[in-house]
Chain A
């Protein structure tokens, strides 16, 4: 049987399973929900003139658009809750502690990333298996804005629902001075998602292009590829420890006392 031959790899890569299935699923469902919510949201804010000349009783397209918006919003919320849950049970790259910059090492990395990837005044190699510290912080902001959209959305929706869940957020209305101004804020926050998406998509292309670690495909298959020459940096690097170190194998004798 004929076998193809490839040239020897100039440097070895280590394949690391970074994004577990629930994270990938969350990511793409979230992206789909955000896209749907933005599109239907803008239609609701300024509906196009589709006057088909029939009586109101024979058409319901605007009601359907709003229904899609509300349904997508519910999926968005529960998806977000699953992600929060996974921050407690998932692997170290998904852990909630990454998202809070509480350690000095995280701040150091944030400034390094700003120099290397944003201002490009340095070509230092940053080894980040999950996200880098700045990216985690950005996702924290995204998470907070998402919470605002959820809370303001439910507050505006509460009058159309008999379920208790949306009613939990009606305190937003007096806080923002009524429905009209809260709706305005809800609309405004949508633009955050648009700007975020532009930067996010650009940066994954950027990282894939510059670093060649397979960032784009990692959100499909979960694997990232790190050169083994960074192996030591990778192994030594941790802002915190997740759980306990794996216990010694029962069949193997422990370290001498």
Chain B
């Protein structure tokens, strides 16, 4: 932390390329290329992609980055800093990136704000805006103020001259826990507050460090935002469901499910579907990249996915049941309960109607005039096969 703060405060290294900065930090050529290969594999690029990455890092100047923290817990920064790869934290975060970030900035108070103003005027139209946290719009923004200004005012100002915007984590992408019902502070995701700028939603609570690094390197290498899905998430990392990349998937297809967290099936590592695992409805790379340098991920540790890279995952609860509460009917009222009540009510209504019919329509249903065998006129012979389609 200290070294990062120092370099950020001292240097004006904006003429250096990333590679030059790496070399000045004692990174060898071999380590640099290893990093390029690793990160381009994470991004889903081929071998020629790796050369492009290396070329970009060697020749392109750093992108100035302003990293704003609003209504959040800083777990996205924590995730990024804890990346297993040293170059991610040391180089991407420390050197190329940050011109302004509240958490890691050495300066404070007016100096810090001056630092922000410098960057957004000097690099107008060039800098990258990274946002961590949602923006509370309730009570005129009083729930989150920095330097006496509301988060919304700051965001509007900073986004004005940004080249592109990266929304880190579920807070910035969809509001996370503070936007859960009833959303007392009016927490609003970034993409709803910014118009006319590309916003990359890097989802997760927090996002995987390698994913965050991959998005940054993509922007640096190709100078354009990565392909995004319908929810603005980079397809390279969010196009597959955790379920489809889960190593426990064969148990799902075979119908082998954990029924309780301490049963024999849990020890055998069966599928956690019935324990409310959100893998089938969650798009993320946890099953492939995993966490903490590929050590594990929640399902591997025996706990279902809670769907942290999906919007409103706190409201789609409870976490440990498959069928979740149905919106508008109060907590823990599932679609099945509503349906069963409706079904029973229908059967009761139909039965009552049947009784009513026999009372009210008694005369209609019974024998009609002339139908009584006794009252019938003497029968003329009619052959049964003589059934005309239309009678006169």
Which residues of A line the B interface, CB within 8 A? 3-15, 45-47, 49-51, 56-63, 65, 118, 120, 123, 159-160, 170-171, 173-174, 177-181, 183-184, 187-188, 190-191, 194-195, 198-199, 202, 206, 209-210, 228
Contact = CB atoms under 8 A, between A and B. Distances in A.
Contacts, number: 166
B254 A15 contact: no
A181 B341 CA distance: 21
Contacts of B316: 178, 180-181, 184
A22 to B, nearest CB: 21
10 contacts: A6-B384, A15-B390, A51-B265, A57-B254, A59-B256, A60-B253, A63-B254, A159-B244, A179-B282, A188-B326
Contact of B379 (A7, A13, A184, A194): A7
B338 A49 contact: no
Interface residues of B, number: 70
Contacts of B383: 3-4
A6 B390 CA distance: 19
Contacts of B363: 123
A187 B323 contact: yes
Interface in B295-339: 307, 310-313, 316, 322-324, 326-327, 335-336, 338-339
B368 A11 contact: yes
Given A46-B323, A61-B254, A180-B281, A123 B379 contact: no
A229 to B, nearest CB: 11
Nearest to A63: B253
A47 B257 CA distance: 8
Given A8-B380, A120-B361, A187-B335, A46 B322 contact: yes
B230 A49 contact: no
A118 B389 CA distance: 32
B10 interface: no
A4 to B, nearest CB: 6
A196 B265 CA distance: 39
A41 B390 CA distance: 46
A7 B374 CA distance: 11
B335 A191 contact: yes
Contacts of A178: 231, 281, 310-312, 316
A15 B388 CA distance: 8
